[in-house]
Amino acid sequence: MKSIFYSRFFILLPWILIVIIVIDIDTKRLSVRNTASFYLSRLGNVQQRQVVRTTRTSSSSSGSNTTSPPVIYAITPTYSRPVQKAELTRLANTFRQVPQFHWVVVEDSNSHTELVARFLARSGLRYTLLNVFTPRRFKRTGMPRATEQRNLALGWLRGHRASKDKGVVFFADDDNTYSLELFEEMRSTRRVSVWPVGLVGGRRYERPLVEKGKVVGWYTGWRADRPFAIDMAGFAVNLQVILSNPRALFKRRGAKPGMQESDFLKQITKVEDLEPKAQNCTQVLVWHTRTEKAHLGNETKRQQDSVFIEV
C-alpha cells in the first residue's frame, strides 16, 4: 500500500512541476514583453508604427485604454515653403521620443502635397494628415494665421474620438522648439493647463502668474489686457473638453491680432480654472523660435541641375 502511494507520488510530482513551470514561463514572457514595450514606448514610437494613414481612422485605433497614459494630439498647421521639410524633420525628431503621441498635421493646400505625405509615411510616427486651403483674402498681414487648419483638426478629433478616449490636445506650430519635458507636463491636463513660453511678446518669455496654485495674472510685454495673455504654444486642453464643447473653434471673423488664443480659451474655460504646469509656471520648456526665410536669390543664376532633388 505504502509502495503504491510512493510510486503514484513520484509519477504525479513531475507532472505537477511541469504545469507549474509552464504557467511560470507564460507569466515571465508576458512581463519581459511588457518591460520591453515600456522602454520602447518611452523611447518613442519608432517601433510602434500605429500609423494612421488616412483621415478615415476609426476611434478604435486611438490606442487608449484605462491603463495607458493619455494620448497627446499635437495639431500642426503647415504650409509649403523652402524650409518646410527642415522644420518637419526637427519636429519629427522631437516627437519620436514622446510616448503615446499622435501628430495631426494640417496642410494649407487643396490636396495633400507629396512632400508632406511621403515625409509622414517615413517618419515612424502615428499621424493623421489633413488639408484645407486658406482663402486668399485671409492671407494678409495682421490677419490671424492657420485658423482653418486648427479648426479642421478640432473637427477631425470630434468626428474620430469618443468619450472613452483619453487624450490631451496641443497646438504645435511647425517652427517652435519643444523640450521633451513639456509633453510630460501637459499629459496630466484635466481641463486646460498653461505654462510659460520663451522668446515671445518681445520678451525673453511670457508666463501666467501663479498664486496658491491658481493663475492670477500674466507676465507679458505686449497687450496685457488680453483675457488670456498666452501664446498658442502655452496651453493644452483635455480631449474631453474639446469633445464636450463641440462649438468651440478659432474665430476668423472679428478676430483681432493676438486674440486667437483668448477667443478660443474663453469658450472652454475661465482664468481661475487654469491648471499651472512647469513648477507653477516658472520653467521655460517651449520656445517661440522663428526660422529665417531661405534666401534663394542665386537659384536662377548659373547652371541648373540635371536632376530634381527634394529639399
State which of residues 86, 115, 117, 241 lies at the interface with a second copy (CB under 8 A): 86
Catalytic residue among 107, 148, 206, 261: 261
- Give yes or no for a contact between 128 and 210, defined as CB atoms under 8 angstroms apart: no
Q: Which is nearer to a second copy, 149 or 283 (CB)?
A: 283
Question: Which residue's entry shows cell 491636463?
Answer: 189
**82 near a second copy, judged by CB under 8 A:** yes
**33 near a second copy, judged by CB under 8 A:** yes
Find how far residue 196's CA is from the centre of its chain.
17
**115 near a second copy, judged by CB under 8 A:** no
Alpha carbons 40 and 227: distance in angstroms, whole number: 41
Q: Is 151 helix (H, G, I), strand (E, B) or coil?
A: helix
Q: Which is nearer to a second copy, 156 or 178 (CB)?
A: 178
**What does the block give as the cell for 140?**
494678409
**299 near a second copy, judged by CB under 8 A:** yes
Which residues ranging from 46 to 75 are in contact with a second copy (CB under 8 A)?
46-47
Stretch of residues binding a second copy (CB under 8 A), selected from 32-40, 58-66, 244-252, 265-273: 32-40
Alpha carbons 120 and 91: distance in angstroms, whole number: 11
* Whether 261 is catalytic: yes
**44 near a second copy, judged by CB under 8 A:** yes
Q: How far is the CB of 178 from a second copy (least distance, A)?
A: 8
Of 116, 133, 141, 130, which is closest to residue 55 (Cα–Cα)?
130
State which of residues 23, 32, 143, 216 lies at the interface with a second copy (CB under 8 A): 32
Stretch of residues binding a second copy (CB under 8 A), selected from 132-140, 242-250, 262-270, 291-299: 291-299
Q: Is 153 helix (H, G, I), strand (E, B) or coil?
A: helix
**297 near a second copy, judged by CB under 8 A:** yes
User: Which strands make up the sheet holding 214-219, listed edge to edge?
Assistant: 177-178, 286-287, 197-200, 203-211, 214-219
Stretch of residues binding a second copy (CB under 8 A), selected from 14-22, 102-110, 163-171, 247-255: 14-22
Of 122, 119, 102, which is closest to residue 50 (Cα–Cα)?
102
Q: Which is nearer to a second copy, 153 or 199 (CB)?
A: 199
**118 near a second copy, judged by CB under 8 A:** no
- Give yes or no for a contact between 170 and 75, defined as CB atoms under 8 angstroms apart: yes
Which residues ranging from 204 to 243 are in contact with a second copy (CB under 8 A)?
204-205, 207, 219-222, 224
Q: How far is the CB of 210 from a second copy (least distance, A)?
A: 11
DSSP 76-117: EEE---TTHHHHHHHHHHHHTTSSSEEEEEEESSSS--HHHH
As annotated, the active-site residues are 261
